[in-house]
């Protein structure tokens, strides 16, 4: 039986620090609450209903208890590739009475091809592109444009429209790319201003900086020094702004993309009712 959604105090989190949860959930990487973000019409995202994160397999038992019992998480939506899940290891979410939904927005073949490209002849261009370079924006266009991406992001939004989902956290590995696109889409559905969406995206780079130890294998794969990796994981608000502009060019608006992937009007309204106050 699904637990009812808790009645939450209608309070605005006080700035970035109160939305960042890495220091609250032991072992968390780039975990934060989207609650409190304002919409263009004066509403706000409900606190503790929608969290975004990087990798979650490093969260300790105490941290998992905090997620379930203090933050109320009932559903985890995982955008990682199947190979990443196998390599990293999985949390036994069922043991914590949490539903685990796997929605990779890239096929395994596409993900591996990207890994090879970055670690091969494109590596120099990637390093030279600097923080938030053109390769990020191109990746985001590919994510939303692929068949796998369209299916994954539609299923993600449909799940958020379902009251049975309860408070949810969605994540990938770093919590900046696949997760960043998902955050941009749901925040667009909620009517959050694009400048706010871009600023939330930028925060991922800051929250990833203390967690280099979790990405040692990635450093080796890409042939990066720790300093280069820290430079690359910086997230520029301009990168997200460019991606949202790409959605406008292709679909008329971010909401035009949401309509193009087949999200029903009823689902849009349900998301707004569930996640706004």
Q: What is the pLDDT of residue 5?
A: 52
Per-residue pLDDT of the chain (277 residues; tens, 9 = 90+): 344 454 443 343 344 557 999 999 999 999 999 999 999 999 999 999 999 999 999 999 999 999 999 999 999 999 999 888 988 889 999 999 999 999 999 876 676 666 555 544 445 555 555 444 556 888 899 999 999 999 999 999 999 999 999 999 999 989 999 999 999 999 999 999 999 999 999 999 999 888 877 776 666 666 777 777 677 678 999 999 999 999 999 999 999 999 999 999 999 999 999 999 9
**CB 154, CB 261: distance < 8 Å:** yes
Both structure tokens of 268: 């849009």
Which H helix or E strand runs over 137? helix 134-145
**CB 101, CB 152: distance < 8 Å:** no
Both structure tokens of 117: 């490209």
Cα distance between residue 39 and residue 22, in whole Å: 25
Burial 25-34 (b: 16+ CB within 10 A, else e): bbbbbbbbbb
Report phi then psi at 43, rounded to 5: -80, 180
Architecture of domain 17-275: Alpha-Beta Complex (3.90)
Burial 189-216 (b: 16+ CB within 10 A, else e): bbbbebeebbebbbbbbebbeebeebbe
Cα distance between residue 247 and residue 241, in whole Å: 10
Could you state, in order of their start, the residue ranges of all structural domains in the chain?
A: 17-275
Whose tokens are 């600097």? That residue is 130
Q: What is the pLDDT of residue 3?
A: 46
Both structure tokens of 129: 């592109």
Q: How many CB atoms lie within 10 A of CB 77?
A: 24
Q: What is the pLDDT of residue 215?
A: 73
Quick check: pTM over 0.75? Answer: yes
Q: What is the pLDDT of residue 111?
A: 64
Q: Which residues lie closer than 8 Å to 84 by C-beta, 6 or more apart?
A: 111, 173
**CB 33, CB 48: distance < 8 Å:** yes
Q: What is the pLDDT of residue 218?
A: 63
């Amino acid at each position: 039986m699904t637990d009812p959604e808790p009645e939450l105090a209608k309070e605005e989190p006080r700035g970035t620090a109160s939305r960042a949860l890495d220091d609250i959930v032991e072992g968390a990487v780039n975990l934060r609450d989207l609650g409190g973000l304002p919409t263009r019409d004066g509403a706000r995202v409900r606190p503790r209903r929608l969290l975004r994160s990087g990798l979650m397999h490093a969260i300790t038992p105490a941290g998992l208890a905090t997620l379930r019992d203090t933050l109320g998480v009932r559903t985890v939506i995982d955008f990682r590739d199947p190979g990443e899940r196998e390599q990293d290891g999985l949390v036994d979410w069922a043991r914590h009475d949490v539903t685990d939904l796997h929605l990779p927005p890239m096929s395994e073949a596409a993900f591996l091809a990207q890994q090879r490209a970055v670690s091969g002849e494109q590596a120099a261009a990637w390093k030279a592109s600097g923080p938030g370079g053109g390769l990020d924006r191109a990746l985001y266009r590919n994510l939303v444009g692929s068949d796998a991406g369209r299916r994954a992001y539609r299923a993600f939004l449909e799940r958020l429209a379902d009251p049975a989902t309860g408070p949810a956290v969605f994540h990938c590995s770093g919590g900046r790319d696949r997760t960043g696109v998902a955050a941009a889409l749901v925040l667009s559905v909620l009517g959050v201003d694009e400048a706010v969406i871009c600023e939330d995206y930028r925060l991922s780079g800051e929250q990833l900086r203390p967690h280099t130890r979790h990405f040692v294998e990635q450093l080796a794969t890409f042939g990066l020094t720790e300093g280069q990796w820290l430079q690359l994981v910086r997230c520029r608000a301009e990168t997200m702004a460019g991606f949202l502009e790409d959605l406008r060019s292709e679909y008329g608006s971010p909401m035009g993309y949401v309509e193009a992937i087949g999200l029903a009007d009823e689902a849009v309204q349900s998301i707004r009712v569930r996640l706004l106050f």
